[in-house]
Amino acid sequence: MWQADTALATLTVVTISSLAATDLEIVGYCRSYVVRVLVITGAGVSAESGIPTFRGKDGYWRNLDPIKLATREAFARDPELVWQWYRERRKRILNAQPNAGHEAIARLAQRAGEFLLVTQNVDDLHERAGLGKTETVQIHGDIFLTKCSRCDFSCAGRDGSPEPPDAHAREPESGRLRSIVPFSENDGNLPRCSECNALMRPGVVWFGEPLPVRETQRVENYLQRDSCGAVIVAGTTATFGYIINWALRASRRGGELIEVNPEETPLSRFATRLVRESAALALPRIVDQLIN
Ligand code: OAD
């Protein structure tokens, strides 16, 4: 059985006959401790939906050079090549479906007292599995967002389209309709910002760029408010220090740290439970254990 659950059960039995105010506080503390969850996901969670990972034998970076596709310098050098890669990825994502791993995480969100998903994935499969925007931090951005490469104008792509936004696109924050120069594959036009005429670019974080401030702050706020009873890290090589840092801080008061990954990562040695299986196989079972 889940360790923290057992701790709660034991404490409740011991104190049930003589519940003083302090005991009640302890029980209350344990309850909130048990039901607070942080889930961190990476490309491996979408692998079984047919979205390639980045590293590993079938990953994008196996035969594509990230420096030629996922940096500002690459975009400055060859924006058409970069847009082409992102358009292909948008198409692939639009044709994919959430898998049992995404669905299990969405189920956990419904049952946890407090829940936050931090995903490095720029796809929308967590959202399509049922997770709300307030429960999700897309720390590496959103592939369906198109933003100006110079000013701070950005807009969401058309629903159901792999294209960058049409001549009229809706701003994600205000819902205002704005016009941009549309992208057309045939005439080689790239989308341009209606505000400053600079090229529009995909709304993702590239190598060498800082993480989005607001999203980072949402993670920090969640971690600072309290620790978590369960932290699940699934489908990521945990290449970036902040991923390990957030997982360790969230589980700092003895919360369970569960890693779901067929392979070892730098996080593995800190995990209290290693699940060397695929996310679609392991997550439904782990979530069942946590919520039952
Ligand atoms: P990676 O491609 O680095 O790693 C994928 C991880 O998923 C590996 O550890 C695999 O062992 C594991 N994996 C593969 N299939 C799996 C499955 N079915 N179930 C569970 N795990 C599986 O992807 P990320 O760690 O997400 O950044 O990469 C982090 C970041 O590096 C990405 O967000 C992207 C990339 O460059 C940016 O674009 C900024």
- Distance (Å, whole) CA 119 – CA 105: 11
The half-sphere exposure of 32 on its side-chain side, counting CA atoms within 13 A, is: 8
Write down the pLDDT at residue 174: 56
Which of helix, strand or coil describes residue 227? coil
- Ligand 1 pocket, mutate which of 67, 120, 205 (most atoms under 8 A from CB): 120
Compute, in angstroms, the gap from residue 239 CA to the centroid of ligand 1. 9
Write down the pLDDT at residue 18: 37
- Distance (Å, whole) CA 62 – CA 56: 7
Compute, in angstroms, the gap from residue 220 CA to the centroid of ligand 1. 22
Give nearest CA residue, ligand 1 atom 6.
236
Total-model pTM: 0.83
Q: What is the mean pLDDT of residues 280-286?
A: 98
Q: Assign 14 a pLDDT band (cuts: 50, 70, 90).
A: very low
**Residue with the two structure tokens 């401030």:** 213
Task: Provide, rounded to the nearest whole percent, the portion of the chain with pLDDT above 70.
Answer: 77
Nearest to 40 by CA among 277, 210, 247: 247
Nearest to 153 by CA among 103, 182, 192: 192
CA of 60, closest atom in ligand 1: 2
User: Is the C-beta atom of 278 inside 6 A of ligand 1?
Assistant: yes
**So which residues are the catalytic ones?**
140
Could you write out the DSSP letters of every residue in 133-160?
GGGEEETTEEEEEEEESSSS-EEEPPTT
Q: What is the mean pLDDT of residues 272-285?
A: 98
77-128 pLDDT, tens digit each: 999 999 988 998 999 999 999 999 999 999 999 999 999 999 999 999 999 9
34-46 pLDDT, tens digit each: 489 999 999 999 9
Q: Assign 17 a pLDDT band (cuts: 50, 70, 90).
A: very low
What strands lie across the sheet with 230-234, from one edge to the other? 136-138, 114-119, 36-41, 230-234, 256-260, 273-275
- Distance (Å, whole) CA 237 – CA 239: 5
Write down the pLDDT at residue 141: 97
Q: Are the C-beta atoms of residues 53 and 278 closer than 8 Å to each other?
A: no
Q: Is the pLDDT of residue 274 over 90?
A: yes
Q: Is the pLDDT of residue 170 over 60?
A: no
Q: Are the C-beta atoms of residues 120 and 139 closer than 8 Å to each other?
A: yes
* Tokens, residue 71: 């940096």
Amino acid, single-letter form, for residue 166? D
Greater confidence, 198 or 20? Answer: 198
Q: Is the pLDDT of residue 206 over 60?
A: yes
CA of 240, closest atom in ligand 1: 29
User: Is the C-beta atom of 261 inside 6 A of ligand 1?
Assistant: yes
Q: Assign 171 a pLDDT band (cuts: 50, 70, 90).
A: low
250-260 pLDDT, tens digit each: 999 999 999 99
Compute, in angstroms, the gap from residue 15 CA to the centroid of ligand 1. 45
* Tokens, residue 61: 């970076």
* Tokens, residue 180: 């941009």
User: Is the C-beta atom of 40 inside 6 A of ligand 1?
Assistant: no
